[in-house]
Structure 1
Amino acid sequence: MSNRLIPERLTQADLSALIKLNESVISSAPPGYIRPKSEADLAAIVTGGSGAAFCIRSQGELVAAALLTYPPPQVAGLPLFPRVPPEQWLDGAAFFDGAVVRPDMRGQGLQRALFDTRLAYARTQGRRWFCAGVHAGNVVSWSNLIRKRLAIVGMAFFYGYPLFALLRAEDADAVATDGPSRLVDPYDLAGHERALGAGMLGVDLLDGQIVYRRAVRADTIGQSVIRNVAHPERASSAASA
């Protein structure tokens, strides 16, 4: 049997296996790292009603999966995602959500392969703003995303869990940076707040630090740091990407 680790689109027939893999990974993850989704939510994504789901198999078994979800309508009182124009939110944005990899299959680039597959699919659907919300402690996930040219554009706190808001855009000017850089330790949340508040974006990695540089274009859309979001299930995804 071939054991080529190639991403593919999930189908309704894979739903039970996806649920099982999600439950297994989420049960062993630190609190807040991955936001659980209901069976109904997963079914809607797998069938294409609210996004798409992709997986990688090994010896015929699901060993990794990741979701691409479309954002809900903006709700009064909830924050806007930084730098994404509100008029392009519904039809132009996509979330890289819910990446899970079986522990014995980690370290083989499966998350990055699933990102590339989802990005290519999102583009075919006319999406131009590629978003993710990742627990600040989930170093592997947000490091992978920064390497894929997503920038940290904001922070939010969902029921006390700190999340980085990351963004990649077809409009490169939206996340372009210049000028001097600032290094921030990944676990220095106050340092991230100061950098974001100064109009900087986290755009690179250096010796275990996040490199912030000043954004060329000021963000007039969303707040860079948001606290105490009332309804996280209605806002940006709090899942690893």
Structure 2
Amino acid sequence: MDAKAIQVPAAFDGSVDPRVVSLVDPNGAAAEQFRLLHLRLDKTRAQRPLAVVALTSAVAGEGKTVTAANLAACAARRGRRVALLDCDLRRPRIAGLFGIDEGPGIAAVLGGRCRLEDAIRIGPERLTIVPAGAAPDDPGSLFSGTAFRAAIERLRGTHDEIYVDLPPALPFADAMAAANEADGVVVVVRNNETRAELVEEAVGILAGAQLIGCVLTGCEEGAAAYRKYYGKR
């Protein structure tokens, strides 16, 4: 089926988690930091194609899922056609952030159990959301074939920007396999918690992917959370 034939639901009927500040508090300081991060990604887009951005971390608890959700929401608010995929099949969180049902999701699509359009949920600001869904015992195997590439290519045909929430890079091979289909990979690092050697190891694992930078989460600027982007040097 042609990518143009993808059909999406008509309206958003979920509820947005307060951590998705780009939607629930768009005028706040934290939302402004996500807008700045999105603008910096746009500067990279001016230099090379960057439709598919994958986000990962060294270990769990770094804030990658919230960062992915806010970037996608920020882009959607700017009028972009945006898709958000939950590819962290071992610890899915995207559906919960938007109050939507979990399945069927990308796991069913990659496993050949449903069509891509049947896994799509509509989010606020017409955001296309593909939740993780029920994963098999070996989720990493779903990203090693051609099905994931085919799904990404179909979404490329109907969206300006695609944000992919990957699992942490160190514990599982899923992130490395899926990251290779992205135009750029961002590594999320929690301030004062993630050891430098773990970040270095994660970056090494992702060496074959298009690493574009890191996002530092968990900083404080006054009373607001602060996120800072560091471009790859």
Give TM-score, length-normalised by structure 1: 0.34
> By percentage of residues, which structure has more strand?
1
Greater length-normalized contact order (CA 8 Å, ≥ 6 residues apart): 2
Structure showing the higher helix proportion among its residues: 2
> What TM-score do you get using the length of structure 2 for normalisation?
0.35
